[in-house]
A and B are shown apart, each in its own frame.
Chain A
Amino acid sequence: MSERERVSTFILRNVRPLGGDAVDIAVTDGVITEIGEGLSGDEIVDGGGHLVLPGLVDLHTHLREPGREDAETVRTGSQAAALGGFTCVHAMANTDPVADTAGVVEQVYRLGVEHGYCDVQPVGAVTVGLAGERLAELGAMATSAAGVRVFSDDGKCVSDAVLMRRALEYVKAFDGVIAQHAQEPRLTEGAQMNEGPLSGELGLTGWPAVAEEAIIARDVLLAEHVGSRLHVCHLSTRGSVEIVRWAKSRGIDVTAEVTPHHLLLTDDLVRSYDPIYKVNPPLRSADDVAAVREGLADGTIDIVATDHAPHPMEDKECEWNVAAFGMLGLETALSVVQQTMVDTGAIGWDRVAEAMSAAPARIGRVSGHGRPLAVGEPANLVVYDPTARRTVEPAASASLSRNTPYAGLELPGRVVATFLRGRPTVLGGTLSPEGVLS
């Protein structure tokens, strides 16, 4: 582990960029300086012939700090991110206080810098206190040290059409994007799970697909009307995929994300009444899962984002109705994408790099991330062994919370190393010690 302290120049030996032929990558002062065979240097990090991808970028992470430090902190969440191969995460605004001012977003940003496990890019709230009534100071957050470009009331929908229109228009001034949590509130009052035969059978209030699709349809039309950029968070239904596909065919500037859990899990799991499977939007039908996989494969869905949502044990060890919505995702995202998309032959590793690094970086307008593996680019890298298999053990998570829906499940792949501007945040599958990075 001596490399951790002396990271300024090293050779990452025997790695396969995007799964291609094995090469060596020379890194100097956080930048890729040479790619080729048989490179030599004083400091060698053995890549073991594994895959190397650009460091992953998550457009949708809940770090819970400030306010719910019992569930997650910027430190533990960014550690979980590093272990999952991420070099940049977007921290959602639904903290307490809400990230609706320059002060809060700068605090979160600085905490990320301080801990150094990955770049933490705060997302600003669209409306004051996520209340959906009036715009937060979007411009102040954009020009703050945090340089916010993504705005979202995630957890709540900007359901007021006029407010949504104004937000879409307003952020054009600083190249921002509104990331919408698409959920028509009246159609989902008290909603607990996907609405379908199973919700009727289980006696749980349904969360109908139309509540998501109606908002997405409205928003793409609004984005077209005012010529703005729209991002759709965690879309989960076949209808949503079809609406986004239609919108893109019309040239509307819309991007969309899907979560790993919506790529893998279905609402059948709710039969257990175990709230570990309670999430918003809810787990959908097998047909919806097939549709979001198709959408991700054909590019209708631009990116995979985790919606990593830590919750303390007591908010999950209870009756379904009173349990919190959300699941962990950072440490399992790449494995789930491998299992559902790569191992099935739907996409290759180049598309994984696009959907989990380049595209989210572009949508979030973060510089230095999601760059190609090329000389002169920042050395944000993840070394990944797709041949490994592991059983998910909640207690082994770096997150403060344990609410992973994959507990006990065997998943493919293992993150071997993660480099943030040449510094190893993860090496040999383990986190670098505290204080080395910052």
Chain B
Amino acid sequence: MKSSHLLSAADLDRDDALRILDTAEELLSVAQRPIKKLPTLRGRTVVNLFFEDSTRTRISFEAAAKRLSADVINFSAKGSSVSKGESLKDTALTLQAMGADAVVIRHPASGAPHRLATSRWMSGAVVNAGDGMHEHPTQALLDAFTMCRHLGDLEGKSITIVGDVLHSRVARSNALLLHTLGADVTLVAPPTLLPVGVETWPVAHSYDLDANLEKADAVMMLRVQRERMNASYFPSAREYSRRFGLDTARMNRMPEHAIVMHPGPMNRGMEITADVADSPRSVIVEQVTNGVAVRMAVLYLLLGGAADADSPEGNA
């Protein structure tokens, strides 16, 4: 990879992105073996620095690092000095002193991974595992990986992303990465939940879900917090579901090959009905499986595994 960190999906050009996806494809086979482990990152230390609860993402990164034989330290802001007011700077200096080779950071503040990577407080690779309303690049990579497995090359494919784009780091990263991979992305949301300036993004946008189902090769539903209605982003959960929720009737209007995705955790009954979430066209559980492979690929490529050999198993 050309960058020593993964902070934004915008850091990845087409070659970088394809390299990660191809590497993930190779690594996915490891998960199918009885012994799910490679020695590639033996002796390297990966810190999972989580300032926000996210068990799903943390265990996905933890599994990825462990399958590459890295030493994994889980640093959760809950119950640590961070919750007692320790600064990001001091935390970074501590991780540097402990010799962290990579830091996987989840943080409620947009840009916190960027600060960590550019401040010179620490020298390890920084992987953004979700920052505020900014980005979640490994989620976008695992989504793209999942789409590729079902749809093949994403060039020219139509992807519809539906929901709270304004507050969604998943939507931002997906819009950037899918555009890089040549897909045609349409963001669908009520106008209140689209960011100012969305017309400058390299994607289309629409306020009408029904108009964007028939052409879709994949429909990705975003989590919408019910509390948003209290801030007048929409009048009620019921109205939101009626206009922007994916139910069976809507799913049936999608092309036969089209898949349904969701980054989780789902609000069943809000943005997606249980029928749809559990239908054969839903690849939501598969997204989780693929997440581990994609994160293995990212750690492997960032931590210089590629410097030793082209194949992840080359130095096994």
A contact residues vs B (CB 8 Å cutoff): 192, 195-206, 208, 272-274, 314, 317-322
Instruction: Note all chain B residues with C-beta closer than 8 A to A317.
Output: 87, 89, 119
A–B pairs, 17, beta carbons within 8 Å: A192-B110, A198-B197, A199-B197, A200-B166, A202-B111, A203-B135, A203-B169, A204-B134, A208-B196, A273-B110, A274-B118, A318-B88, A318-B115, A320-B110, A320-B111, A320-B112, A321-B132
Least distance between B240 CB and chain A CB atoms (Å): 21
Q: Across the interface, do A272 and B118 meet the contact criterion of CB distance under 8 Å?
A: yes
- How many interface residues does chain B have, given as a range? 20 to 34
Instruction: Note all chain B residues with C-beta closer than 8 A to A319.
Output: 88, 107, 109, 111-112, 115
Q: Across the interface, do A201 and B197 meet the contact criterion of CB distance under 8 Å?
A: yes
Q: Across the interface, do B110 and A202 meet the contact criterion of CB distance under 8 Å?
A: yes
Q: Across the interface, do A200 and B132 meet the contact criterion of CB distance under 8 Å?
A: no
Residue B62 is within 8 A (CB to CB) of chain A in the complex: no
Instruction: Note all chain B residues with C-beta closer than 8 A to A197.
Output: 196-197, 200
Instruction: Report, nearest first, the 4 A-B pairs whose CB atoms are least far apart.
Output: A197-B197, A200-B195, A203-B134, A273-B111
Q: Across the interface, do B132 and A203 meet the contact criterion of CB distance under 8 Å?
A: yes
Least distance between A269 CB and chain B CB atoms (Å): 13
Residue B37 is within 8 A (CB to CB) of chain A in the complex: no
Q: Across the interface, do A320 and B133 meet the contact criterion of CB distance under 8 Å?
A: no
Instruction: Note all chain A residues with C-beta closer than 8 A to B169.
Output: 203
Least distance between A403 CB and chain B CB atoms (Å): 15
Residue B285 is within 8 A (CB to CB) of chain A in the complex: no
Closest to B172 in A: A203
Instruction: Note all chain B residues with C-beta closer than 8 A to A196.
Output: 196-197
Q: Across the interface, do A206 and B196 meet the contact criterion of CB distance under 8 Å?
A: yes
Instruction: Note all chain A residues with C-beta closer than 8 A to B166.
Output: 200
**Cross-chain contact of B196 among A199, A273, A274 (Cβ < 8 A):** A199
Bound Cα distance from A319 to B196, whole angstroms:
23
Bound Cα distance from A277 to B108, whole angstroms:
20
Residues of B146-195 contacting chain A, CB below 8 A: 166, 169, 172, 195
Least distance between A142 CB and chain B CB atoms (Å): 41
Q: Across the interface, do A321 and B110 meet the contact criterion of CB distance under 8 Å?
A: yes
Instruction: Note all chain B residues with C-beta closer than 8 A to A314.
Output: 87
Closest to B195 in A: A200
Bound Cα distance from A273 to B119, whole angstroms:
10
Residues of B105-141 contacting chain A, CB below 8 A: 107-112, 114-115, 118-119, 131-135
Least distance between B154 CB and chain A CB atoms (Å): 22
**Cross-chain contact of A322 among B109, B114, B118 (Cβ < 8 A):** B109
Least distance between A208 CB and chain B CB atoms (Å): 8
Residue B309 is within 8 A (CB to CB) of chain A in the complex: no
Residue B73 is within 8 A (CB to CB) of chain A in the complex: no
Q: Across the interface, do A318 and B89 meet the contact criterion of CB distance under 8 Å?
A: yes
Q: Across the interface, do B133 and A204 meet the contact criterion of CB distance under 8 Å?
A: yes
Residue B204 is within 8 A (CB to CB) of chain A in the complex: no
Residue B198 is within 8 A (CB to CB) of chain A in the complex: yes
Instruction: Note all chain A residues with C-beta closer than 8 A to B198.
Output: 200
Q: Across the interface, do B109 and A200 meet the contact criterion of CB distance under 8 Å?
A: no
Bound Cα distance from A204 to B131, whole angstroms:
10
Closest to B121 in A: A317
Bound Cα distance from A203 to B196, whole angstroms:
11
Q: Which of B87, B111, B133, B166 has the most CB of A within 10 A?
A: B111
Instruction: Note all chain A residues with C-beta closer than 8 A to B133.
Output: 203-205
Residues of B63-119 contacting chain A, CB below 8 A: 87-89, 107-112, 114-115, 118-119
Closest to B200 in A: A197
Closest to A314 in B: B87
Q: Across the interface, do A273 and B172 meet the contact criterion of CB distance under 8 Å?
A: no
Least distance between B277 CB and chain A CB atoms (Å): 27
Contacts A272-B118, A319-B107, A319-B111; A201 near B172 (Cβ below 8 A): yes
Bound Cα distance from A214 to B133, whole angstroms:
27
Q: Which of A195, A202, A321 has the most CB of B within 10 A?
A: A202
Q: Across the interface, do B115 and A273 meet the contact criterion of CB distance under 8 Å?
A: yes
Q: Across the interface, do A320 and B197 meet the contact criterion of CB distance under 8 Å?
A: no
Bound Cα distance from A321 to B51, whole angstroms:
14
Bound Cα distance from A319 to B110, whole angstroms:
8
Additional A-B contact list (20), CB under 8 Å, known A204-B110, A204-B111, A317-B87: A197-B196, A197-B200, A198-B197, A199-B197, A200-B195, A200-B196, A200-B197, A201-B172, A203-B135, A203-B172, A205-B133, A208-B196, A272-B118, A273-B112, A273-B114, A317-B89, A318-B115, A319-B88, A320-B112, A322-B109
